[in-house]
A and B are shown apart, each in its own frame.
Chain A
């Protein structure tokens, strides 16, 4: 993939060549790792399915075998979901960070996922969240409102942005708690979207959100090149012929669709959109298309790994995956901030 024409003042040309090879190597390695993660996700779970049964479960399905049913009806849909949600959140995070030129922006931290979750809860309480399309719409609407609110309040500085996100998340969670305390009927539905989890979704109709995520990911790839130009600054972007306002709008739409759809399906999950772009930062300096592509691979790896852990960490039963990502992402964030400083990056 070509990068933007040599940027004035940035890396000298000699760094690009090994970097490109490095990127391709990572791409290949990433695909292999993704395959491994998929296999692990299908093979590991709360119930120990003998390894020898896994391939037959997929190819020579026996409807009477409990093990085969577990693999086909629970783990495979869950793995697909993990891939979709991981890719969606990682790419959304990458896009937000590029757009706002802020290395700490992330749909979870900024309260976007909580906004989507809250809209879903409210919609469920009002009876609007019956269909998959309705849920998707609510999730995206909530994401949009949260993004608008947080950016309007915190536009001027990173600190303000983060704090606005924290405050918004806290308010929404508090209001949800209040709703739950006064009306236990919404309790059932609320629970579904209060803590992010990939479990228990295999019976819901996943086609619509998955299609939406897939389309948005394609859109992200398409807009990546123009975003590259915009990320260099407005004047540079204009000289390169990119329509800044349009690119910004399209990117924001993609971010909210990705975050909204992911939350509609899995509930609020934090940190995935933060960890993945950071891991890829050094590698993809100056190239948004690479960032987006690699995020689409590393995101699912992270998500599947976290989900697999969430299945086995308790002796009986499962832990919601959002708890695992919080424990993975928290130390990561701390390490990043301590190592690289909060303002630079």
Chain B
């Protein structure tokens, strides 16, 4: 048996390695000149992100966004040149935003492993905003991205964190103006609805049946304050009583997955129950399972006909949340008559 092919490989690798070193040195110096060139056209500032304090351009002109930053920055009219695909946000986009989403070049898939570094480099960005949740961020090759453009990682850890997170993302991309408009719109609407439903929701004990994530067979998802299905409702004064029995990290601090058997005892004190539905009004499998069972029909709140479907529970931008508010207004209307 000969070791020839391996020797061949090894020596060519040596050549490649030295070439790589030379090429890298050359590129860095060239890039340095290039960056200096860019710097003169716009100052930079220090920005605090999940990956530390990063120096980013004051006025980015070419932004690449991934993850949750995609719908946020599309809404905020940031100067985007490339995005990751983000199927979670698709059902909630307005027609205009959807068009923008479809027209922008794709530079990454849903997961970190599908990041196409070359495609990002090709767009020649001056800022990269990584909006994926913190655990996924670990899997991205940050160094490589940093060799293309400054990278800021801003991701949510709990579901209700989208407000701060999306503002930070818009801030980094220099799109605060339009963003704050959307924020004001949302806050106004929330105040309005809060006043409208103040009496109806005052002291009303609510519970939420969710459909997010992997709900195992025989289980259901219960969401408390600050979770996906509840955080927008919280803003108009809805209160979801109770707590997770075994608190975990992130979303596990505000939602849990009990067995269906535990439905009667878990929700017996609920005076009204909200449940997640899809954007078109249809029931997700996990929620349908609960609603079809006799245990559900036997709950006091269900018998009093105090159940309300909630749309757009995955809202993670102010625009989406405003749509969610409108849907909430529609679904809670019967409360005003009682």
- Complex formed: what's the CA distance from A73 to B261 in Å? 10
Identify the closest chain A residue to B222 (Cβ): A316
**B292 CB contacts on chain A under 8 angstroms:** 203
**Is the CB of A66 closer than 8 A to any CB of chain B?**
yes
Tell me the residues in window 241-275 of chain B with beta carbons closer than 8 Å to chain A beta carbons.
245-246, 256-265, 268
B260 touches A63 (CB 8 A): no
- Against A, the Cβ 8 Å flags (1 = close, 0 = not) of B270-294 are 0000000000000011000100111
**Is the CB of B95 closer than 8 A to any CB of chain A?**
no
**Is the CB of A278 closer than 8 A to any CB of chain B?**
no
Identify the closest chain A residue to B267 (Cβ): A66
A46 touches B217 (CB 8 A): no
**B268 CB contacts on chain A under 8 angstroms:** 66
**Is the CB of A64 closer than 8 A to any CB of chain B?**
yes
Which of A46, A63, A192, A197 is the one whose CB lies under 8 Å from B262?
A46
A320 touches B258 (CB 8 A): no
A73 touches B295 (CB 8 A): yes
- Complex formed: what's the CA distance from A23 to B261 in Å? 39
A317 touches B219 (CB 8 A): yes
B298 touches A318 (CB 8 A): no
How many B residues touch A, CB cutoff 8 Å?
Answer: 28
A66 touches B295 (CB 8 A): yes
- Complex formed: what's the CA distance from A70 to B295 in Å? 7
The answer to whether residues A203 and B293 also contact, given A45-B261, A46-B262 and a CB cut-off of 8 A, is yes
**A225 CB contacts on chain B under 8 angstroms:** none
- Against B, the Cβ 8 Å flags (1 = close, 0 = not) of A328-341 are 00000000000000
| B180 CB to nearest chain A CB (Å) | 33
**B294 CB contacts on chain A under 8 angstroms:** 63, 69, 73
Which of A45, A47, A184, A320 is the one whose CB lies under 8 Å from B87?
A184
Which of A47, A73, A75, A200 is the one whose CB lies under 8 Å from B217?
A200
A47 touches B265 (CB 8 A): yes
**A315 CB contacts on chain B under 8 angstroms:** 245-246
The answer to whether residues A316 and B259 also contact, given A184-B87, A200-B217, A203-B293 and a CB cut-off of 8 A, is yes
- Complex formed: what's the CA distance from A181 to B216 in Å? 18
A317 touches B87 (CB 8 A): no
**Is the CB of A74 closer than 8 A to any CB of chain B?**
yes
- Complex formed: what's the CA distance from A311 to B260 in Å? 11
**A181 CB contacts on chain B under 8 angstroms:** 111
- Complex formed: what's the CA distance from A342 to B242 in Å? 55
B218 touches A200 (CB 8 A): yes
- Against A, the Cβ 8 Å flags (1 = close, 0 = not) of B183-215 are 000000000000000000000000000000010
The answer to whether residues A197 and B216 also contact, given A63-B298, A66-B298, A203-B292 and a CB cut-off of 8 A, is yes
A66 touches B264 (CB 8 A): yes
**B246 CB contacts on chain A under 8 angstroms:** 315-316
**A73 CB contacts on chain B under 8 angstroms:** 293-295
- Complex formed: what's the CA distance from A74 to B289 in Å? 12
**Is the CB of A191 closer than 8 A to any CB of chain B?**
yes
- Complex formed: what's the CA distance from A17 to B164 in Å? 80
A199 touches B285 (CB 8 A): no
| B210 CB to nearest chain A CB (Å) | 14
**A316 CB contacts on chain B under 8 angstroms:** 245-246, 256-259, 262
Identify the closest chain A residue to B114 (Cβ): A181
- Complex formed: what's the CA distance from A320 to B219 in Å? 10
Identify the closest chain B residue to A49 (Cβ): B261
| A140 CB to nearest chain B CB (Å) | 22
The answer to whether residues A201 and B217 also contact, given A66-B298, A69-B298, A73-B295 and a CB cut-off of 8 A, is yes
- Complex formed: what's the CA distance from A63 to B264 in Å? 13
Most A-side CB within 10 Å, residue of B111, B218, B263, B292: B218
**Is the CB of A234 closer than 8 A to any CB of chain B?**
no
**B87 CB contacts on chain A under 8 angstroms:** 184
**Is the CB of A188 closer than 8 A to any CB of chain B?**
yes
A317 touches B217 (CB 8 A): no
**Shortest beta-carbon contacts, A-B, top 10:** A199-B218, A66-B264, A200-B217, A46-B259, A47-B261, A200-B218, A199-B217, A317-B257, A316-B258, A46-B261
- Residues on B facing A (Cβ under 8 Å): 87, 111, 214, 216-219, 245-246, 256-265, 268, 284-285, 289, 292-295, 298
